[in-house]
Structure 1
């Protein structure tokens, strides 16, 4: 595998850009027309890189009106997250849900008082390892915007990078950083377990070729605009010339001049400064009249709106404003990727006081599933009275050769996990809830805890793992931790649990 240092040696050094520079640029644009990014998050883990923004698990017009008008620290939000959970849906369901979200958001924005009409930009947030409904979701968003507002999309900006979690794009190729003995190496993402996903597998790590593959040739690789690090870092210092972020912004905007009819645009990203350089370039392109939507990984929004990288939250901050319950906490693990299993093993080995309740997936798929679920809830409630409870699905992944059947099995398992959480919440509310895995954390939020509106307060670990504060429903006052299945090292789940637990 190539070494990251060797691959980067062919490109300029990063351009140092303070978040304030991006924030000020966005604010200047907002003076003419207030703008909010509406982030359609295909699972809830997209919030892990941002702080102090509203999250919706429902998307009626009234929900958007709440989010658009909900000031935080006296400021209207620059982005609103909508938990679509579309990665767990089949293509037709995902398309319908995307259309409904976009249509209702546009209607809510149009209903703003005269003189305060909002301009919405849409972000299709998906997986940093390239799993999800692509190009379906950007296609549907663009078509819906055109149908409702008459505005055509010039380009779809594709930025899956997530450096905090070890995903970077260099020279148009998307990589995972190696760990352990492979530290310093770059692993092309198509050579990882994620590329073998039963529903969203792929074969190419080159993002232009990935676009051609997933679009079935509708967008040939040669038609994709690639903003490599030579463009992103065009403002780097060289030959006595001082670094200049504006040079990067102009180079990026110039490269986008040719975009039309939803041209795919791929961006290299290795550092937070690269995100900020890209944000300045996108601002310039939009000032020139380009209409863009975005298909991105988690940190893009932070860079795009000029947020600082939020420090990890302490346990005290997680409970701020609320008196924590004396009950145990509930840790729910549904993801089956390798890193999740290792994290689960580390947690169970270290947290000797925790009770472990395993949900047997084979029993969930059997005839006596309801009886089995009832007994599981009884076990969880009894255990919470004495301390933390770790609820996890059996580690044997049951899947089918057919993608639709694999999704059906995943939904059945997720529905059972949700039922356990919801029935437990109604009988004996836990001190905190951690949900591990994308589909798991989405369903636990929307249905298990019945969260409709929340505020994402920040990360529990540097750059990853977000804390939601539910603002309504039966889980109000209970810290909810959204923990993606494919992030963190082997100790991460134990570290987060230790912050929140009173028995660990």
Structure 2
């Protein structure tokens, strides 16, 4: 059975949610008929079932979602995906999944974390109120939706209009105190459903880390109600990994700017990336390779080499130093690709990308897609590594999550497997 079962209420939201898990290296597929679950459940890590129930009556939606939830089997994580603006039947569908799972969990061990925030899409929750670009739901267009007008901005009010379960809130100041504070608050709350504030991705990770700790310590079985990103974060924190060996990604970064350092720090936190540093004054390819070998032996799936910032004082001779660093980075990339056999390669900085491409004997680069402006994903063409997934990004391009997004995109491209129905 798939390790994660996600139940969505419309196709576009279901597909978008599946993509969030795929970015974390998990194989995901969406089906719109519960009878197809058996065909795909043992072939993917994440199965997303779309019930298309957003515009149905609460009773009809409950029945459809409960039937979908009954297919969960022994999946370690079940997620009820809700609209980012809470349209539809979130309370009835939450109850449907919880009722279906109640028989699986020991008495009192099934709890619900409702984290509908989707910060990257401008959806946040503050003080229990759900906001779209900082505006409460009842002051946005969804309050006038002709099919499913949202009548409340408070998440507990939206859910409570349909759900039979007790509801509580976990405020932002607790979330910002870290996983320990969140775990303590969750443990102390008597509510069956706890709505958590969140305004950025770090908050989602904090709540997910706390929930995973309680799953281990207290044996809690979590049901997540979210719009996509929290469930994916929780899956990671619960230790859900691809059933097949994850593809290794190699990164080569030449920039030493503060922006780049911040971006790479995000990859360490979000992807478990391991970086070995090249001394700009004495670039040593063998030493860098030793660091990469150690990271690979210890199980890192995102590993790379970066240049250590120069020590304070007069800058070394520019052109010669830069050329030596580029030659060393290219040599490290060539030898690491040959030895560690990564499934994907990432290069940050135009000079670095060109040097690495040349060192690998490639003729060029087949472009597949733009991950973000001046960050491109594709494949090497020509040479002994023809077809190797390859992503490039300008060294000064993007916000704090730019490198993370590129590496996630590359890893997903490298691990993507065509799913064909069994006959």
Relative to the length of structure 1, the TM-score reads 0.44
Partner of 1:472: 420
**Structure index of larger Rg:** 2
Cross-structure match for 2:98: 142
Give the secondary structure class of the aligned counterpart of 2:151: coil
Instruction: Return the alpha-carbon distance in structure 2 between the equivalents of residues 160 and 273 of structure 1.
Output: 14
Q: Is the 8 A contact 1:61 1:105 kept in 2?
A: no
Rounded to whole Å, the distance in 2 between the matches of 1:272 and 1:176 is 16
Residues 405-458 of structure 1 show CA distances to partners (whole Å, capped at 9, x for unaligned) of xxxxxxxxxxxxxxxxxxxxxxxxxxxxxxxxxxxxxxxxxxxxxxxxxxxxx9
Indicate the SS of the match to 1:202: coil
Map of 1:267 onto structure 2: 196
Matched, 1:122 2:78: yes
1:47 pairs with 2:22:
no
Q: How many residues end up aligned between the 2 structures?
A: 254
Q: Is 1:282–2:253 an aligned residue pair? A: no
Secondary structure of the residue aligned to 2:102 is: helix
Alignment of 1:224-263 (within 5 A): 224-234=167-177, 248-259=178-189, 263=192
> Would the aligned equivalents of 1:42 and 1:86 in 2 still touch at CA under 8 Å?
yes
Q: How does 1:268-417 map to 2 (within 5 A)?
A: 268-287=197-216, 288-306=218-236, 316=368
Distance (Å, rounded) in 2 between the aligned partners of 1:297 and 1:136 = 16
State whether structure 2 residue 49 is matched by structure 1 residue 82: yes
* Contact 2:59-2:92 within 8 A present in 1 as well: no
CA, structure 1 residues 210+56, in 2 after alignment: closer, same or farther (shift >3 Å)?
closer
Aligned partners of 2:179 and 2:207 also within 8 Å? yes
1:316 match: secondary structure: strand
- The answer to whether the Cα contact below 8 Å between 1:232 and 1:278 also exists between their aligned partners in 2 is yes
Q: Structure 1 residues 47, 56: closer, same or farther in 2, change over 3 A?
A: closer
Q: CA RMSD in A?
A: 3.8
Q: 1:316 to 1:151 in 2, by over 3 A?
A: farther
Whether 1:207 aligns to 2:163 is no
Q: Does 1:100 align with 2:67?
A: yes
Distance 1:148 1:59, change over 3 A: farther
1:324-373 C-alpha deviation (Å, 9 max, x unpaired): xxxxxxxxxxxxxxxxxxxxxxxxxxxxxxxxxxxxxxxxxxxxxxxxxx
Q: Deviations over 1:108-155 (max 9, x none)?
A: x4xxxxxxxxx4321100111111212111111111122466665643
Q: What is aligned with 2:333?
A: none
For residues 418 and 405 of structure 2, the distance between their equivalents in structure 1, rounded to whole angstroms, comes to: 15
TM-score, with length taken from structure 2? 0.51
In structure 2, the gaps of 5 or more residues are: 238-266, 272-345, 347-365, 371-376, 380-403
Report the Cα distance in structure 1 between the residues aligned to 2:215 and 2:139, rounded to whole angstroms.
36
Partner in structure 2 of residue 238 of structure 1: none
Pairs within 5 Å for 1:63-74: 63-64=37-38, 66-70=40-44
Q: Deviations over 1:231-260 (max 9, x none)?
A: 1111xxxxxxxxxxxxx2221121122455
Closer, same or farther: CA 168–151 of 1 in aligned 2, 3 Å? same
> What SS does the corresponding residue of 2:368 show, helix, strand or coil?
helix
Deviation at 1:459, TM superposition (A): 9.0
Q: Which runs of 5+ in 1 are unaligned?
A: 1-33, 71-76, 110-118, 178-185, 235-247, 322-457, 474-504
Question: Does the CA-based 8 Å contact 2:105-2:221 persist in structure 1?
Answer: no
Higher relative contact order (CA 8 A, sep 6+): 1
